[in-house]
Amino acid sequence: DTAVSQTPKYLVTQMGNDKSIKCEQNLGHDTMYWYKQDSKKFLKIMFSYNNKELIINETVPNRFSPKSPDKAHLNLHINSLELGDSAVYFCASSQEWSSEGTDTQYFGPGTRLTVL
Amino acid sequence: GQNIDQPTEMTATEGAIVQINCTYQTSGFNGLFWYQQHAGEAPTFLSYNVLDGLEEKGRFSSFLSRSKGYSYLLLKELQMKDSASYLCAVMDSNYQLIWGAGTKLIIKP
């Protein structure tokens, strides 16, 4: 079973639309994340969230919002999509402590978003 | 500000050894991670160092010097499947991961 899954894998949409990307983890982790990886392959944190706290990267436009129905899910909603939103979006999760180290993150397969 | 530096690209020969360096300047330190990312795929965990020294895991080893703000990832007996980007990431005092831009490693036969 996939540990961290995302849907859809590919998303092509028109500028101005609203879209969502879903993320689910079955690792029992407490914290989930959303990253944006641009064309230069630089991973940029957007949000980190656990049942206690949502940490938002202040550079992320408020058109982006995370929604967590429960501990295993963190969905990403994007309103009024813009051309510059085209990128690969990765979901990840971590546990506060594991044998591999503090907050080792496990990534989903990514969602390639193309805004036309 | 916080900064992670690693070379943009490196080339090595199959069967050889390559060392990918990472230097960092962060507000606090709670460990350094190396991740591997193949083109079009998600990053996958390789190693974690929080104490100075060398951690060995099969063909891959990772070294850390906290006083120098420096780490390297050593890949031995290179295989074609090792062609990927290698991402260095440091956990700061707020337990936030600061990511480097990654080093693209090209393996030639």
**pLDDT value for B108:** 94
A contacts of B97 (beta carbons < 8 Å) = 45, 103, 105
Q: CB–CB of B90/B98 below 8 Å?
A: yes
CB contact under 8 A, B43 and A43: yes
Least CA distance to B94: which residue of chain A? A55
Q: What is residue A7's predicted lDDT score, i.e. its pLDDT?
A: 95
Chain A residue with minimal CA distance to B99? A43
Predicted confidence (pLDDT) per residue in B6-17, tens digit: 999 999 999 999
With b for 16 or more beta-carbon neighbours within 10 A and e for fewer, the A41-59 pattern comes to: eebebbbbbbeeeebeeee
pLDDT in tens, B44-91: 999 999 999 998 989 999 999 999 999 999 999 999 999 999 999 998
Among A41, A101, A108, select the one facing B101 at the smallest CB separation: A41
Q: Would you give the distance in Å from CA A11 to the centre of its chain?
A: 14
The pLDDT assigned to A56 comes to 73
pLDDT value at residue A52: 67
Q: What residues of chain B lie within 8 A of the CB of A105, using their CB?
A: 33, 45, 97
Mean pLDDT of B16-32: 93
Q: What is the pLDDT of residue A59?
A: 83
Rounded Cα–Cα distance for residues B1 and B20 (Å): 23
Give, in degrees to the nearest 5, the angle at Cα A98 between B5 and A90: 55
Q: What is the model's pLDDT at position A102?
A: 60
Return the structure tokens found at A14: 């028109």
pLDDT at B92: 85
pLDDT at A30: 87
Predicted local confidence at residue A98, as pLDDT: 57
Q: Which residues of B touch A102 (CB under 8 A)?
A: 30-31, 48, 50, 91, 95
The helix (run of H) or strand (run of E) holding residue A32 is: strand A31-37
pLDDT at residue A58 in the model = 74
Alpha-carbon gap: B88 to the closest alpha carbon of chain A (Å): 11
Asked if the peptide bond before residue A8 counts as cis, ω within 30 degrees of 0, the response is yes
Q: Residue range B27-34: average pLDDT?
A: 92
Residue-by-residue pLDDT tens, chain A, 116 positions: 568 999 999 999 999 999 999 999 999 888 899 999 887 777 888 988 887 678 777 788 999 999 988 889 999 999 999 999 999 999 999 886 555 556 688 899 999 999 99
Q: Which residues of B touch A41 (CB under 8 A)?
A: 37, 85, 101-102, 104
Cβ distance A110 to B42 less than 8 Å, yes or no, reads yes
Which A positions 55-74 lie with beta carbon below 8 A of chain B?
55
Compute φ and ψ for B11, nearest 5 degrees: -125, 140
Chain B residue closest in CA terms to A49 = B96
